[in-house]
Structure 1
């Protein structure tokens, strides 16, 4: 079912000062720059969402200098619908700006039935990229990722498929997501020998989920691989949304797939409130500080945010104005989130 588009918007003309609103960082050792804030289309772009609102979010993002839009084959719901809707918005609003946009997609989670619709075989990765291009109406994506490691497929096969996509002109760069430090180093080496650099890693990373600090960030820094952190606000926990408990209209209350009410326990709430106090002293919202805290590390190229309304982008983008932390602030944060 296609979502309603009964609210025609006036033709889109991008803000002339868009690149003054954002800071950009080189992605590892490549010549590619990413905006410090990128927009993910994991939520709010499926067929169950408001299409006009989706257009407004993407327009606002681009006007703020966010030129990187991140998708995956199974974003929706249903699977594929975020790419379809993004393709429709691209045609309506961004056709003339294609070469200013960095568009990424991924394959690795379940997408269609049967043994060839999931994980990391060459068959699945190549077919999935072809489907994504068709849904979005694109000749190529700028970055194509293997979305998660596959324990049953040789890493050489998955990386070989990524290399093939670049050689076929279907992707300009390739990346991986959720790989641990050891497998990331392996993937880097395999791709290097094929002549296709591993551009970027997309790990889950936030103040409350710091697994990347256990070796992965060191590998990224040593090898010159860029990184883009997803779930930086820990599904909304690192915002002012839950400071007073779980509001009835929140995703945690309505949709237990992503954030379960029991995750927001008394200890977590105390931690979030203490972090919020530091953010207030810094003149930031908790969300802004959580993003800035990730960006303080030069190995983090960009932070991936998802929003449900355009105004949230302004709040997120303001985070890039202050990514410096005093040693006292860092110590105080460390004492709250643990070593």
Structure 2
């Protein structure tokens, strides 16, 4: 147990890096990390380096595994199942695709064009930006394994329930006709060599880092400001655990923003440090990743208003329920 704790602290939380950055700030910059400026610089440098190290290792590994499941093979696997088992599988497959919500929509179009049930594709669409294997490790590095696993479980439940409700609602007619008309040509999957898979993983890593680096910097910057510059009583007045409306505010504040989980985690870390409830923080993260305005605008191009409204309503209600549940029972995880 002691070995696991040491590995968790040094490999995930990277306490060695925190100590190194603290030494840099104090000895080289001549600032105290106990003061606002020094603390902000320490927070920013430590979180940026830590997230990029973890992100690089995790995305490369996940992409290598993902090379065994190209879209054509994924569609074949999903096509063998139906009902709730298909929704569960769609949600699980979403966890091995480290995409933001906008990047997931082309795959959603491909799955729908291939004739997969609408509910299954929505389970995938909800799960893919909300829950991925990298988020488990990053959440554990900031909070702990209990929080990370609980987040993944509720995210998967939301994806399965959301997809099932959409399936039962029979809303296939509310998908734009061109999506169904976009025929997919089945081609044999060429067997990749180990070198091909490594190159694929490298390309995926470069592509994802290019897309998310700015959001990571912005997220860490906001987190540093919250952590060191915004008084706790101001945050508590809006998002304090004793405020019944905090989950609602956090969920809807996240909607206009566009980022993935990597950019929202530093903000979540700072908010929890300031005493914001765990459920409120998770609602904010889910609102940003699953309901961002840019992704809703893109989704509107492929589905009609009624289907978009059902999707938004189901996911929003699910996030709010999850937020209040974590605020009530979150103390069991911390």
Report the TM range for the smaller structure's normalisation.
under 0.3
TM-score by length of structure 1 reads 0.23
Select the structure that is richer in strand: 1
Larger CA Rg, structure 1 vs 2: 2
TM-score by length of structure 2 reads 0.24
